[in-house]
Chain A
Amino acid sequence: MPSTAPAPPIAMLAELTYRCPLSCPYCSNPVEMARKESELETATWIDVFEQAARLGVLQLHLSGGEPASRRDLVTLVAGARKAGLYTNLITSAIGLTQRRLAELDAAGLDHIQLSLQGTDADMADRIGGYQGGFARKMQAAEWIVEAGFPLTLNAVVHRQNLHQLPEAIDLAVALKARRMEVAIVQFHGWAMLNRGAMMPTRAQADEATRIVAQARKRLKGVMVIDYVPADYHSDYPKRCMGGWGSTGLNVTPDGLVLPCHAAQTIPSLEFENVHDVPLADIWYNGAAFNAYRGEDWMQAPCKTCDRRTKDFGGCRCQAMAIAGDAAATDPVCIKSPLHAKMTALAHEFAEGDTPELVYRKSP
């Protein structure tokens, strides 16, 4: 347990459904996904949004799967806005018609984040596993901007499409996106099955960092670029979730409340459901939320490291996946005894033969 009471959360990721028309191999959803029958009902979601707002959540991210696969999406957005939340839709745009966008507009949707799998139909439809998806996405982007929504383009880049990054940035500007997210593929959930097919080389990752830095300078005042650097190829770990149980929480389609979207990969943790326990209780008292709060859980070398207040020991799920212990130092860190193993693993995945993509299956 941390010695002081945790601050309230700022953001909530609501995974409305795991259903998705796309089947991106880098999906961070779990390999075992909840089915449609177990998805929370409209009224339950809206109650959760109201509880979240009372708890202190300001920003709500409606995600999935594909959130537009929920027929009640417009009702959910209206409920979230009524609760006082800033409402962000994270979508592939498949299922967004001009009419539905107008309804979302009237319901008060604040912002749309559109995913980009590639800068042409060949690449995007192959990675997304959905023929015609790219054309529909480009059409939807126009409708989104026409309707007046601020648009963020979210490009996940990896070994197979990293060469398109400069074009992706140009495309975002041409689509009038105010903001872009460039995320080098992160390996959680389904994506773990595709490390050998998608991990960039270290040289590619460094090149992406250079391209983004240049574009940021060139596009100041035109478009903001947020950047998620490559997993595995760093010397220090990512500042995962801004600290476990400190700023955000995640609700799965069937109502489990997680400290991060990959937390179910840590087998020792048990998660509570919004059907059974109030959200505030889960946030402040839930065992899974308190497991890695503060510093008491840390082992050497984190325990005495100067960086522990900066990166909180890195990603717990990555520690679980590579070190087999969720309380270990994130093996990305140069101070981890497993760093050499991590480097070798990254090399093997990035430089080896490229296996076939394992496409995500919809539940």
Chain B
Amino acid sequence: MSAIEGHRIPTIPRGVRLHEDKVRGMWVLLAPERTITLDPIGLAILTALDGQRSFEDVVTGLAAQYDAPVDQVRADVADFVTGLADRRILELV
């Protein structure tokens, strides 16, 4: 896991979108030549990205929402965001 500076804004770029797959009863992230199945945690993280909130805002928001330790949430979100950013599916603005 690489650290993400708290003020960076994780963003879903053009050409990537959240989609409710009603046939399979789940949420997916659609990207160029990729379909990523989302678990409830992934969906919660991506739903929190509004193009305005910083990484740290997203972390504290999710920690409060799920009543979870901030450090744990920060590590999980950083892992998730880094994994997708390395594949150009999310961007850090």
Contact = CB atoms under 8 A, between A and B. Distances in A.
B23 A8 contact: yes
Contacts of B13: 150
Interface stretch (B26-34, B40-48, B58-66): B26-34
B85 interface: yes
B14 A148 contact: yes
Interface string A105-116: 000001101000
Contact of B14 (A55, A149, A179): A149
Interface in A71-86: 84, 86
B7 interface: no
Interface stretch (A39-47, A162-170, A219-227): A219-227
B42 to A, nearest CB: 16
A175 interface: no
Interface in B1-44: 13-17, 19, 21, 23-24, 28, 30, 32-33, 35
Nearest to B14: A148
Interface string A55-95: 11011000000000000000000000000101010000000
Which secondary structure dominates chain B's binding surface?
loop
Chain A, interface size category, equals: 20 to 34
A119 interface: no
Nearest to B16: A150
Contacts of A10: 35
Contacts of A111: 15, 32
A59 B31 CA distance: 9
Given A110-B15, A150-B15, A221 B86 contact: yes
Contact of B17 (A110, A179, A220): A110
Contacts of A178: 15, 32, 88
Contact of A86 (B17, B23, B86): B17
Interface in A182-237: 220-224, 226
Interface of A: 8, 10, 54-56, 58-59, 84, 86, 88, 110-111, 113, 148-150, 152, 178-179, 181, 220-224, 226
